[in-house]
Amino acid sequence: MRHVLPGFLILIFLQTAANGQTPASDTLFLQAAKKQTLALYEQAMYRQEQVYAGNEYIPQDHRIKIHPFYPTDSLQAGSITYNGIPYHDVAMLYDIVRDEVAVRPPEGGYQIQVRNSKISRFLLGAHQFIRLDSTLGLPAGFYELLHDGSVQVLAHRKKIIHEDVSSGAYKADYLPKDHFYIRRDGIYHEVKNKGSVLLLFPEQSKVLRKYLRANKLKFNDALREDAITKVVQQYDAGH
């Protein structure tokens, strides 16, 4: 892939830039012309970029009524870095049963499964994900960055299929099974409760315990993500 503007877009930019602007308006005009030129370039390149060259995304079992996506089953505009190249305003879905990203081409049509190994990161709404591999001591896949400071907090989003045939008819649901990790000093640690979090910060254990009590943070299933993230944010703020 070439990382230069196509000739016709360069010509557009030069022609518009030389279209009789006064010195006082040159800067604003050139900024607007540059922005328009880059937008046209990006739009043109989307039609031949590799991110849209995968296989068709195959939907999950239609008998399961609950959707397999995160955070929603509606296409969302996001950005994705594929093979080292960033793409913006991409219509995306994230299937957390298979840990797959699906995109819809600008011209519409069926959704395409993007090759995981080529994705380094993607942004879906307000959720930022990075790809990590198994050499780091944790399952390979996409991880949401919940906090990114001197210490990182990551969530591995997952839904598993729970099947029930006890009634003689097939029934199934997707059950959320998120896992949380803290990266400190280059090492990833899975954390599940208050004790496993505080164990990673022995020098701040008393201060963090006091913070937990003062803010009534709980580590049950519904509140675990918020509690882990806030504790690490507090540690980073005082570190």
Tell me what pLDDT residue 2 has.
40
Angle CA 233–234–237, to nearest 5:
85
Cβ atoms of 101 and 80 closer than 8 Å: yes
Tell me what pLDDT residue 165 has.
85
Cβ atoms of 102 and 92 closer than 8 Å: yes
* pTM for this prediction: 0.78
- At 106-126, the pLDDT tens digits run 988 899 999 999 999 999 999
Tell me what pLDDT residue 37 has.
73
Q: Mean pLDDT, to the nearest integer, of 41-52? A: 63
Domain boundaries, the chain: 7-46, 52-188, 192-239
Tell me what pLDDT residue 42 has.
58
Q: What is the DSSP letter of 170?
A: -
